[in-house]
Each structure stands twice: as C-alpha cells, then as structure tokens.
Amino acid sequence: MADLAIVVCKTDPKAAPAHRGISLIVVENGTEGFKRGKKLEKIGMHSGNTSELIFEDAKVAVSNLLGEEGKGFYHLMNKFQQERLVVTIQCQIEAEEMLRLTMDYVKQRQAFGQPISKFQNTQFKIAERQRR
C-alpha cells in the first residue's frame, strides 16, 4: 500500500561489530529492480499490511539515504523505546476492546434459555480476563 519503504541494509559489510555499517535507505515504489511481493498472512495487527519486498539488482539514488551512512542501527535504536510504548498501548487497547466485544456477546448469546453470561464458568472466565 505504501509508496515508500524504509529499508535497513548493510552498506559496509566489513564494518565490525555487526551493528555498524547499517544504513537506512528510502526505496520508492517503481524503483528499478524493486517490487512488492505477496501480502503475508499474520496472526494479528491486520491494520498494518506486511508483504515481501523483492530486490533484483535494484538501483537506488544516493540521495535516498536516510540519516547518516553506517548509522542506521543508531537511528533505529533512538526511537525503539517510543515504539515499544506505542505497541504496548496498542495491545492494551486491543485487549480492552476484545473484552468489551466478549461481554456484549455473552450477554446476547443464549443457551438453555438464558444468556451465557449467567453461567458461573463464563463469569469466572470473564473475571480472569478482566484482572489481567
């Protein structure tokens, strides 16, 4: 779906230790030698598409370097804690929404002439989810 991909690549294979020599490069859709592959099926986070990126003798302009050459690892780590926080918040919101949907469902779903929310085991299971 995106017109740009930020690719993490090793621009200096001889750099040591391994985290050095990594750069960030912006690759535009339509770049020679670059194409998107199939969309990958995921267990979660369906709102963010994930697909294969295929590079076959891709040619990217030097001006597409993002940040400083060889410092890509440091650029990534600079925002890593913020990304963890955002993912944590997203997971919390998703868990709360799943609990809300489950509560709505067990109140509406009938079994043996009553909503399944009236069954003790259902109440125990909901309470376990609620306290986590």
Residue 13 belongs to a domain with what CATH number? 2.40.110.10
Mean of the per-residue pLDDT values of the chain: 91
Are 9 and 69 in a shared domain? Answer: yes
DSSP states of 29-80 as a string? Answer: TT-TTEEEEEEPP-SS-TTS--EEEEESS----GGGEESSTTBHHHHHHHTH
Domain end marker among 78, 94, 115:
78
Determine contact, residues 115/106, Cβ cutoff 8 Å: yes
Task: Give how far Cα 31 sits from Cα of 28, 38, 74, 112, Å.
Answer: 6, 18, 26, 62
Q: What is the pLDDT of residue 96?
A: 92
Domain containing 92 equals 83-131
C-alpha 63/C-alpha 10 separation (Å) is 17
Query: Would the CA dihedral through 39, 3, 80, 63 be positive or negative?
Result: positive
72 and 99: one domain?
A: no
Same domain for 29 and 67?
Answer: yes
74 and 91 both lie in a single domain: no
pTM of this prediction?
0.66
Q: Is the domain of 33 the same as that of 73?
A: yes
The verdict on 25 and 73 lying in the same domain is yes
| 103 token code pair | 């509560």
The total of structural domains in the chain comes to 2
Looking at the structure, do residues 19 and 64 belong to the same domain, yes or no?
A: yes
Which residues belong to the active site? 83
For 23, the enclosing helix (H) or strand (E) is: strand 22-28
pLDDT tens per residue across span 4-20: 999 999 999 999 898 89
Q: What is the pLDDT of residues 50-98, one digit of tens each?
A: 889 999 999 999 999 999 999 999 999 998 899 999 999 998 998 999 9
Same domain, 126 and 109: yes
| Cα 119 from Cα 109, distance rounded (Å) | 11
- Contact between 70 and 22 under an 8 Å Cβ cutoff? The reply is yes
pLDDT at 132 over 80: no
Identify whether residues 24 and 41 lie together within a single domain. Answer: yes
